[in-house]
Amino acid sequence: MSCEKYNHMLSAYADGELGKREGRAVQAHVRQCARCRQDLIEIQHLKGLMRAAPTPSPRAAFWSDSFRLVRSLPSPQPRSWGRPTFVATVALGAFVVFLLAPHRPDPEPARMESAYSSIHPYALVSLHAGGQSGVPLADTGSLRLALTEAVSADLSDGKLDVE
Amino acid sequence: MASSTWSRALLATLLLAGSARADSKRSNDARALLQSVLLAEGSIAFTATQTVIVSEGGASDATVTRERHEPGNRSRVEYVLPKSAAGRIIVEDGAHRWDYAPTERTVICSPNRWSKRTAADAQKILSLMLRSYRLQVEANTATIAGRPVTILRLAPLRPDRPTQTLYVDRATLLVLKREVFDSAGRLDTVSTFSDLRVGRAAGSAPITFKPPENVPVVSQREQRSAASLAAARKIAPSWARIPTTLGKGFDFEGAHLVVMSGKPAIHCQYTDGLAGVSLVEIQGAADLPADGQRTHSVRIGEAEGTITHQFRFDMVTWRSTGLTFSLVGSLPQELLLELAAAVR
Alpha-carbon distance B193 to nearest alpha carbon in chain A (angstroms): 10
Q: Do residue A149 and residue B311 have CB atoms under 8 angstroms apart?
A: yes
**Least CB–CB distance from B285: residue in A116, A142, A151:** A116
Q: Do residue B288 and residue A124 have CB atoms under 8 angstroms apart?
A: yes
Q: Do residue A162 and residue B125 have CB atoms under 8 angstroms apart?
A: no
Q: Along the 344 residues of chain B, how does pLDDT read in single tens digits?
A: 556 676 776 666 655 556 556 566 666 789 999 999 999 988 899 999 999 998 877 788 888 999 999 988 789 999 998 888 888 899 998 888 898 888 878 888 887 766 778 899 899 999 999 999 999 999 888 999 899 999 999 999 998 889 999 999 999 999 999 999 988 888 989 999 999 999 887 667 788 888 888 888 877 665 688 888 899 999 898 999 999 999 999 999 999 888 777 788 899 999 999 999 999 998 888 776 655 667 888 988 888 888 988 777 889 999 888 899 999 998 888 999 999 998 86
d(CA B264, CA A26): 33
From first CA to last CA, the distance across chain B in angstroms is 67
Q: Do residue B328 and residue A128 have CB atoms under 8 angstroms apart?
A: yes
d(CA B23, CA B153): 13
Closest CA to A35 of A59, A12, A2, A57: A2
Three-class SS state of B135: strand
Q: B257 forms bridges with which residues in the sheet?
A: B266
Query: Which residue from B minimizes the CA distance to A108?
Result: B321
Q: For chains A and B, what is the number of CB pairs under 8 angstroms?
A: 191
Strands B59-70 and B46-56: antiparallel
pTM score of the predicted model:
0.69
Kindly provide the ipTM of the predicted complex, given to two decimals: 0.80
Contacts of A14 in chain B (CB under 8 A): none
